[in-house]
Structure 1
Amino acid sequence: MLVVETIARIRREHFIKGKTIKEIARDLKVSRNTVRKVLRSGETSFEYERQVQPRPKLGRWAVKLDGLLAANAAKSAREQLTLIRIFEELRGRGYDGGYDAVRRYAKRWSRERGQSTAAAYVQLSFAPGEAYQFDWSHEVVLLGGTAVMVKAAHVRLCHSRMLFVRAYPRETQEMVFDAHDRAFALFKRTCIRGIYDNMKTAVETIFVGKGRLYNRRFLQMCSHYLVDPVACTPASGWEKGQVENQVGLVRERFFTPRLRFKTLDELNAWLLDKCIAYAKAHRHPELVDQTIWEVFEAERPKLVLYAGRFDGFHAVTASVSKPCLVRFDNNKYSVEASAVGRPVEVQAYADRIVIRQDGRIVAEHPRSFGRGDTVYDPWHYVPVLARKPGALRNGAPFEDWVLPAAIERIRRKLASTDDGNRQMVDILNAVLTDGLPAVEAACAEALSHSVHSADVVLNILARRRDTGRSARRSRRPDRFARPIG
């Protein structure tokens, strides 16, 4: 192949020194056709590109390689195999050629496919406070030494590029509500429009064009925050390209290498600090003389005022079993004994479960995201103990029950007596009427006198109630008393 130096010398020998083609060919030891080609074309360089690539070993494997490449391209970026893995897969099927042939073929295949699928886009521009974008991503972290797939909620202000990320165990609607509230609490305000994909927690029906039937509870949230929701065209991620890019950025900068935390709360506290630190350290892509945080601070006065926390729960109706348990999301939660036999409404929040019956709260528990877990509140079963005091010893709700120190000491002492369970049940029932601090103080006073019977504890409580009533009567003015003087 002709090098640039040889071409330059041929041109100088002919056009400056006036040599003939025959003389140049003899002096430079190249063919006359080559000299003639350089002089007639006027080019200063020539590149050879093979028109047909011979594939003596890969040829009969081309169809199978096409299938492997197409199947790999259809996968998500996280699941796509590297080219060396595809080569190994082909070798496993019997291909005995080299890697370079597979690499060249894959490069040409990707180039031809890119030409057929390439599309042009228009860059979007947003005014301050105009819109935010929301999306989910799936990330793998180590929580308590176990690899866990968490769902990361992403919120991004379109003008300032201020970002917010929080991890959740699920992508359910109550998680969407919590993510919005925490993002708006960080921003201290919100935007006029919210741009979403057609996630099931927001959109129930997709009509032709931009028509959507939104979920009722999702619309309630948007109304609370004064946000106008906008759903993208299906399979048109570029309509919310900023948050799509944020997903990749956060995965690369925050979640790589794999994060290790004891709990999800520790992970989310770290993510919040990273979001703020990133915004303060990086320049805005358009306003390059300012950081993202500075542009965000300038945008904040133009945002919509934060309306406070939205009561974001997902409600379902459930029945109460005879063991005072309600089943929700593959787990069971205890309720007050008085709720047995009638339906209840389970209100699922991102971090807790609230159970109501006729508008009254009959249970509230931290939410469990396992499977087959049973979450007890032992105080729900105290009224049942009045009829079945023996259940205090072996009842599942009372295993590992941590009572205040004085009450626990009374319990241990009564365990050695014949009617200890009955006496302990009487003391526990007093908590429902007098309150836990009063019963604990009465137990401590009884122990100070080296006694631990229920009668003594209840007597102390009764005496304190009478003393309290007497003190209130003494402070009450006498309407019939005459003024002195």
Structure 2
Amino acid sequence: MLPHSLRQTIHYLHQSGKSNHEIARSLKISRNTIKKILEQGVDIPATERKVRNEKIELNFLRELFTRCRGNAVRIKEILKEENDIDIGYTTLKYAIQRAGLRAPLKRVGEYCFDPGHEMQHDTSPHWVLLENKKIKVQCASLVLGYSRKLFMQYYPCFTRFEAKTFLKTSIEFMGGSCKRCIIDNTSVILYAGSGFNAVVSPEMLTFARMYGFEFMAHRVNDPDRKE
């Protein structure tokens, strides 16, 4: 089963005018597979979304989901540590959705750009449990377009200092940056305005130029642009 990111790449190359032979040669995939994926569409067919590890019973999965408060990463860790079950994160995510424990995310739009052109940075408040006490922290993340890699860190607060520290560390983790970084309309990075009229603060503008990218804020009330 080919991952969604690769299926997306195949459709993008096809829409760009590439022949099946050219796509197959560049991605090292058979032309029959290319033809099949173009006929099926970008989304993985439901018939291929099968849990590969039948050892996970439904009731046990529900118990773990409640125990881990819906955190799939923690569920994966417990399955490995306590039950010696090694299951892929994507496979586990589909198992959770099929069990009705979490609704699948709906596609909200489609954006076409080349691999290596866009990365997305986001921050959101999270409540974490530390020493039996709930503490509100800021979760910062960075993901590259056409990639499954995600870098994430927690901070007690998130100012421009933390933003630069996080972006530097995440870019080093990814092995480089994309040309454009999509952000929300946060004053941590912006000096004034919003959306396409946003003005990036001089401090963050200089920082971005050092790493070869530029910030771009999504339109107001359009946070799904970053999904």
- Structure-2-length-normalised TM-score: 0.50
- Structure-1-length-normalised TM-score: 0.24
